[in-house]
Amino acid sequence: MLIRQVRPLDAATGRAPRRPVDLRSRDGVLVEVAPDLEPVGGESVLEGGGALAIPGLWDQHIHSGQLAQAHSRLDTSGAGSVGVILELVRAELASRRERRIGDQALIGFGHRLVDFAIRPTVPALDEATGTVPTVLIGGDAHHAWMNSAALTALGLPARDGIVAEDEWFVLAPRLPELPGVADALATGAAMLQRQALQRGVVGVTDMEWGRPWESWPHRSPRLRIRTAAYPEELAAVPGPTGTVLDARGLVTMGPLKVIVDGALGSHSAYTREAYTDGHGYAGRGVLSVGPEALREALAQAKALGLTAAVHAIGDAAAQVALGAIRAVGLPARIEHAQMLTDEDIAAMAALGVVASVQPAHLLDDRDATEAVWPGHGARAFRLRDLREQGVQLALGSDAPVAPLDPWLAMAAAVHRSADDRPAWHPSQQLQPCEALAASTDGITALQVGGPADVVLLEHADALFADVPSGADGLMVESAAREAAEQLRATDPLATVVAGRLESQR
Ligand SMILES: [Zn+2]
């Protein structure tokens, strides 16, 4: 493929040449970067018209199965109480009966336990749903509120409350056993790829439960997919990290993923200090995998040639994760890494541990963090400190927890505010080109020998310019807000994956 007349941006410097060049790729790799290349026989040509060319974007943390289901799910994210959710469920079931699909399982997604004044119970849900299997997944993806019909259909013991953490993680990939869910999933997988490509995404790390390495090669992949494995599936893993799993080389084996704590919204992130929020929750959250079990899991990963991705949201969980990574000694990332002390950051830098952070979470977690850990907000989303201490950043979304949209992630990293308030801890803001460099899987420039993963942007000359600082050394608030708005509004012209045009506006 020949991409003509583009100006490749160097994400390390934020600069692009004024004079356009052409990019030639062969077998998915860039083989020539020079002005005025002539097309050779049979070569497909993409005219860039002077557009800015950036390295393809990555979302380093998604859950493909849940995302694929998202379009057929009942959105419960705005429901602030158990009563409102039950009303939504009743209305949805009534509408489905009218459309004669009343017997299909109802999957909901998005509620936050932290919003509820009373605990959700199985009998309350049974009363609203009758015998239609119903699973309401929390917005943090760490628990589900299920009715008796769904519990029975999936062979779970009866109970009064929710299904959470490890019990839920094992159950989540089995939802397609419920009526109607598998069909919705196939449509959703195609849709999620199309939407990602439209936003300039050329690759994702898929943290889906189950065996995504078995399903992806059969889904006509159009972007790069690294599939993670959880400890309970280690015996089925096809090979070490990097093993190619499809004919085009787009699907590869990713890391072992281990979840050692919960999430902020469920009060289960494992923290150094106790929660204080007045809802009757106390304690320091949940450490679901202790230091010894984690060391064992990582040692197994190392023996299989897998890298590790350790989910740690609370600062105490990060400490446990780093201890095990140090003891075992393997290439590793911390997923979320959204509460860190100085000591944790220094350890990450010393061990070469990558910070896989989802900046859009800071928009949602801002108020919750300040409410449950008053005074410790300075430990949250320390993107600038991580970068300056030499820790490699790998941004993502945790979709469907946040939208699979790297532009939203970059905007959140730059401005750190979702509303009219000024930035939350502005000393941690990233410059736009720093946010870009954290979103391209470590590739800062389009160079010969690199992957032919290219995104074209028009009218984008100011997009990655540095935001000016004021006398206090911090970004000028209005300028950071403006830069974030521009990033959020970016709509790529074209996305090329492995030398193939996969999306064009
Ligand atoms: Zn996740």
Nearest-angstrom CA–CA distance, 350 and 377: 24
Whether 44 maps to a domain, the answer reads no
Cα–chain center distance at 418: 18
Number of domains in the chain: 2
CA dist., res. 287 & res. 294, Å (int): 11
Looking at the chain, the whole-number percentage of residues with pLDDT higher than 90 is: 81
Question: In the prediction, which pLDDT does 278 show?
Answer: 54
| β-sheet with 201-206: strand ranges across | 57-62, 201-206, 224-229, 251-259, 308-312, 332-336, 354-356
What is the structure's pLDDT at 279? Answer: 58
CB count within 10 Å of CB 339 equals 27
Model confidence at 481, pLDDT cuts 50, 70, 90, reads very high
Q: Is the pLDDT of residue 7 over 60?
A: yes
| Confidence grade of residue 29 (pLDDT, cut at 50, 70, 90) | very high
Confidence label for 282 from pLDDT (cuts 50, 70 and 90): low
Identify the band that residue 274 occupies on the pLDDT scale cut at 50, 70 and 90: confident
Q: Do 419 and 483 share a domain, yes or no?
A: yes
Please give the distance, rounded to the nearest whole angstrom, from the Cα atom of residue 61 to the centre of ligand 1: 6
Amino acid at 411: A
Q: DSSP secondary-structure letter at 326?
A: H
| 230 Cα: distance to centroid of ligand 1 (angstroms) | 12
Fill in the amino acid letter for 61: H
| Residue 157 pLDDT level (bands cut at 50, 70, 90) | very high
The secondary structure of 451-481, three-state, reads: ECCEEEECCCCCCCCCCCECCCCCECHHHHH
pLDDT average, residue stretch 412-418: 95
Q: Give distance in angstroms: CA of 164 to centre of ligand 1.
A: 14
Looking at the fold, whether 119 and 199 belong to one and the same domain comes out as no
- The verdict on 219 and 150 lying in the same domain is no
Place 263 in a pLDDT band, splitting at 50, 70 and 90. confident
Report cis status (omega within 30 of 0) of the bond before 400: yes
139 alpha carbon – ligand 1 mean position (Å): 11
Could you tell me where the beta strands, DSSP code E, fall in 142-283?
143-146, 163-164, 201-206, 224-229, 251-259
Which of 61-75, 303-317, 433-447 shows the lowest per-residue confidence on average (mean pLDDT)?
61-75
pLDDT of residue 216: 93
* pLDDT per position as a tens digit, 360-394: 999 888 988 888 888 888 899 999 999 999 999 99
39 C-alpha to center of ligand 1: Å?
43
CB distance 230 to 217 below 8 Å: no
From 147, 179, 211, the end of a domain falls on 179
Instruction: Answer yes or no: do 406 and 372 share one domain.
Output: yes
pLDDT at position 268: 86
Q: How far apart are CA 299 and CA 309, in angstroms?
A: 13
Dist. CA 398 → ligand 1 center (Å) = 5
Instruction: Give 3-state DSSP helix, strand, coil % of the chain, rounded to 5.
Output: 35, 25, 40
User: What token pair was written down for 163?
Assistant: 């299904």
Torsion, Cα 417 422 427 428, to 10 degrees, reads 0
> pLDDT for 283-328, tens place per residue?
888 899 999 999 999 999 999 999 999 999 999 999 999 999 999 9
Kindly give the distance from the C-alpha atom of residue 460 to the centroid of ligand 1, in angstroms, as a whole number.
31
Last residue of a domain, one of 150, 179, 208: 179
d(CA 320, CA 307): 17
Q: Domain with 431 in it: what CATH number?
A: 3.20.20.140
Judge if 98 and 198 occupy the same domain: no
> How does residue 96 score in pLDDT terms, banded at 50, 70 and 90?
very high
Residues 171 and 192 in one domain: no
**Average pLDDT of 450-478?**
96
Residues 174 and 198 grouped into a single domain? no
Question: What pLDDT does 69 receive?
Answer: 78
- Token couple for 144: 């589900």
Last residue of a domain, one of 164, 179, 194: 179
CA–CA distance from 309 to each of 183, 316, 322, 333, 377 (Å)? 30, 16, 11, 5, 24
Q: What is the pLDDT of residue 236?
A: 96
| CA 69 distance to own-chain centroid | 16
Q: Cα(244) to centroid of ligand 1, in Å? A: 23
CA of 21 from ligand 1 middle (Å) equals 39
Cβ 475 vs Cβ 467: under 8 Å: yes
Residues 259 and 362 in one domain: yes
Given pLDDT bands bounded at 50, 70 and 90, which one contains residue 265? confident
Residue 505 falls inside a structural domain: no
Per-residue pLDDT tens over the stretch 161-186? 999 999 999 999 899 899 998 887 87
Determine which of 31-35, 284-288, 372-376, 446-450 has the lowest per-residue pLDDT on average.
372-376
How many angstroms separate the alpha carbon of residue 34 from the centre of ligand 1? 41
| CATH classification of the domain holding 157 | 3.10.310.70
Position 25 in a domain: no
- 28 contact partners, CB below 8 Å, separation of at least 6: 248, 249, 451, 452, 498, 499, 500
Q: Is residue 16 part of a domain?
A: no
Averaged pLDDT of the chain? 94
3-state secondary structure of 333: strand
Q: Which domain holds residue 105?
A: 66-179
Mean pLDDT (whole number) for 75-95: 94
Q: Is the pLDDT of residue 245 over 90?
A: yes
DSSP annotation of 161 = S
- The rounded Å distance from CA 186 to ligand 1 centre is 21
Please check whether residues 141 and 290 belong to one and the same domain: no
**What local confidence, expressed as pLDDT, does residue 496 receive?**
98
- Cα 503 to Cα 206, 353, 384, 492, distances in angstroms: 21, 33, 33, 9
- Amino acid 53: pLDDT: 98
Place 140 in a pLDDT band, splitting at 50, 70 and 90. Answer: confident
Task: Give the residue carrying structure tokens 């990290």.
Answer: 241
Mean pLDDT, to the nearest integer, of 106-126? 92
